[in-house]
Amino acid sequence: MTKESNDDTTSSWVEGELRLAGSLDSRMISLLRAIEQSGSINQAAKEIGLSYKGAWQMIERANNLAPKVLIATATGGSKGGGTKLTTAGHALLKLFTGLEQQHREFLQQLNRNLADDPDVHLLLKRLAIKTSATNQLFGVITAIETSAINAEVFVELKGGEKVVASLALSELRQLDLSIGSDVLLLINATEIIVVTDLNSYILSARNCLSGKVIRVQHDGVDSEVAIQLHGGESLAVTITQASSESLALKLGLSTYAVFKSNAVILGAIPKH
């Protein structure tokens, strides 16, 4: 998996959960630690966000899987029944704590190795970008046309589709974009309209991408429609449910995602 890094020196592209015997994971170990400190299943469950029943189910499963009982309880104790870790439970806690440190060091080394590889870094950098825009597409600038104050940037998506983005000339300079630059295209779902029959419309929008409907989800007012482009990428579109029904949108229907050039926000991908 990947996630966004805090900075270039602490990139954490690789993550992984430590799990023993398929079910003894960090949450189970957190429960053991909390029981050790509180002596109460109820209190320990609250500390790690479990219900009392959920905690008991985890304990029973762990006790059944382990070669020796990990947790012992006795009625009438002063701390919620006198729950405590057995010798085997303490041994497991110590083992897991040591493995956690080795696990962290292993992941850190993997991430350091990835950070030193420029090709891998570029690939993962793209996957880690997070924005509020619903649609994020990557492409390469193939042409730029400028006027006195504005610029039109022509971008080819990885599937071959062409997208035109309009921006101010000052923004073009600020982003330091040129032909051959890798860019991120951000398009909000509400900026896209769905057209099923181009012969019925005369469109002023510069962008018209063909594809097929792969998902339609209604919420009683609006509909979210996912359109898969022929190159494999997908666009999410938000329209009213009434519009969705009038267009008779269904899975597999050939359709077009139409949007204006000024609906596209361009993001420059840093060069490495």
Could you report the per-residue pLDDT of 10-67, keeping only the tens digit for each? 456 667 777 776 667 888 888 888 988 888 888 888 888 888 888 888 887 777 767 7
Residue 271 DSSP code: P
pTM for this prediction: 0.54
Question: Are 164 and 264 part of one and the same domain?
Answer: yes
Q: Would 250 be classed as within a structural domain?
A: yes
Q: Among 80, 115, 150, where does a domain finish?
A: 115
Please state whether 49 falls in left (phi above 0), alpha (psi between -120 and 50) or beta. left
Residue 233 near residue 157 (C-beta atoms within 8 A): yes
Question: Are 147 and 74 part of one and the same domain?
Answer: no
Distance CA 232, CA 1 (A): 21
Residue 132 DSSP code: S
Q: Would 123 be classed as within a structural domain?
A: no
Which domain, by its residues, includes 48?
19-115
Distance CA 126, CA 99 (A): 32
Question: Are 145 and 244 part of one and the same domain?
Answer: yes
Q: Would 25 be classed as within a structural domain?
A: yes
Question: Are 140 and 96 part of one and the same domain?
Answer: no
For residue range 182-228, list pLDDT tens digits in order.
888 999 999 999 999 887 777 888 999 999 999 999 888 999 999 99
Number of domains, the chain: 2
CATH label of the domain that carries residue 95: 1.10.10.10
Query: What mean pLDDT comes out for the span 246-252?
Result: 92
Question: Are 164 and 251 part of one and the same domain?
Answer: yes
Residue 265 near residue 187 (C-beta atoms within 8 A): yes
Question: Are 67 and 175 part of one and the same domain?
Answer: no
From the CB of residue 199, how many other CB atoms can be counted at a distance below 10 Å?
Answer: 5
Looking at residue 257, its pLDDT comes to 94
CATH label of the domain that carries residue 238: 2.40.50.100
Question: Are 224 and 152 part of one and the same domain?
Answer: yes
